[in-house]
Amino acid sequence: MAFQEYFPLWNKLTLPQQQRIEKALRLRQEKEGSQIHGGDSDCTGLILVKSGRLRAYILSEDGREITLYRLLPRDLCLFSASCMLHSLQFDIMIETEEESVFWIIPPDTYRALMEESAAVANYTNEIMATHFTDVMWLMEQILWKSLDKRLASFLLEEAALQGKDDIRITHEAIGRHLGSPREVMTRLLRYFQEEGWVKLARGRVQITERAKLEQLAE
Residues 20-45: pLDDT tens digits?
Answer: 999 999 999 999 999 998 766 667 78
**CA–CA gap between residue 199 and residue 211 (Å, rounded):** 15
Beta-strand pair 46-51/76-77: antiparallel
Q: 49 has which bridge partners?
A: 102
User: Mean pLDDT over all residues of the chain?
Assistant: 90
Q: Which of 42-46, 81-85, 149-153 has the highest mean pLDDT?
A: 149-153
Q: Quick one: pLDDT band at residue 209, thresholds 50, 70, 90?
A: very high
Residues present in the chain in total: 218
Q: Are 133 and 151 within one domain?
A: no
Last residue within a domain, chosen from 139, 157, 191: 139
Q: Are 118 and 169 within one domain?
A: no
HSE of 41 in the Cβ direction (CA atoms, 13 Å)? 1
Domain that holds residue 23: 3-139
Count of Cβ atoms closer than 10 Å to residue 172 Cβ: 12
Give the count of domains, the chain: 2
Grouping H, G, I as helix, E, B as strand and the rest as coil, residue 192 is helix
Q: Are 110 and 155 within one domain?
A: no
Q: Are 100 and 125 within one domain?
A: yes
pLDDT (0 to 100) of residue 90? 62
Return the higher-pLDDT residue of 172 and 135. Answer: 172
Q: Are 103 and 211 within one domain?
A: no
> CB burial class (10 A; 0-12, 13-18, 19+) of residue 77?
buried
Last residue within a domain, chosen from 115, 139, 163: 139
Count of Cβ atoms closer than 10 Å to residue 86 Cβ: 7
